[in-house]
Structure 1
């Protein structure tokens, strides 16, 4: 995995296509993009018809670029990207996994701390914080199997 294109392909392997699960607080999604996010980005069509290319543009603008993931080691960038796309306390997990000041605010100090942390150690720590978060969500009973599989797949990618 070398760049956004590779990361997006792997991400879509986790996300799949259209879903409208009543247990999901995100509501209706296509390619993992919620209707709320799609609308906020200007998409007006039916969610079932959201083009993959539109999801890709949203992913780059909203979940990749703001965290400067092009500047990070690709395995690290993917873990952060997948978590940011899926939801959670991503900046805080970045800070905890890298030893940066834990304030939940992304900036140059956080970015530099992540850059200076051994990639494998970062991936393992980040995954641990993410799993703990997921396990404590009230929706865990509904989505635990899928989230566990997603995390296992991500760890395999991180070890490649």
Structure 2
């Protein structure tokens, strides 16, 4: 599996054109909102958004810019989860989940120092993930994914509780984004 496969999965899951009245993102196609499309140079009808444009946005904004390639060198599973969460909640939120999970799993800093929650992939975050993997082995990925998905699930519930319109999406978020 590689980033192209992840992008294909996201586009398949997100589906085609949508303009749900409860979606604050407005018109969306293949998961790309109108605002994201405009910010990246696409100004035509969202119904006609080219797949190649969506693929480019996903690659650049949700994989390359946040530095998930570096995470993939340590753990493909964690990088894939970061990508999927970034697409749905933004890269900073996804990275924050990783940093929080790493801090909670470092056994009171016995394994590695706590990370500053700066929501960026940097040397310290990568170092903590390397150390976590060295201590816990590849099986540690399953625990890390559970921790990150627990944080993601809690966030979805909070979004639905804070804005009733989000309840229209909660079932799909939990069914398609967790686990």
Common fold by TM > 0.5? yes
Call closer, same or farther: CA 1:59–1:115 in 2, change over 3 Å.
Answer: farther
How many aligned residue pairs are there? 152
Which residue of 84, 89, 92 maps to 1:82? 84
User: Cα distance, 1:36 vs. partner?
Assistant: 0.4
The TM-score normalised by the length of structure 1 is: 0.87
Where does residue 151 of structure 2 map in the other structure?
129
> Matched residues in 2 for 1:5 and 1:122: separation?
23
- Distance apart, 1:102 and its partner CA: 4.3
- Runs of 4+ aligned structure 1 residues displaced above 4 Å come to none
Q: How does 1:73-152 map to 2 (within 5 A)?
A: 73-88=75-90, 89-99=93-103, 100-106=114-120, 107-117=122-132, 118-137=140-159, 138=163, 139-152=165-178
| Greater length-normalized contact order (CA 8 Å, ≥ 6 residues apart) | 1
Q: Is the contact made by 2:40 and 2:57 (CA closer than 8 Å) also made in structure 1?
A: yes
> Alignment RMSD, CA only?
1.6
Task: Answer whether contact 1:76 1:123 (CA < 8 A) is retained.
Answer: yes
* Structure number, greater radius of gyration: 2
TM-score (norm 2): 0.78
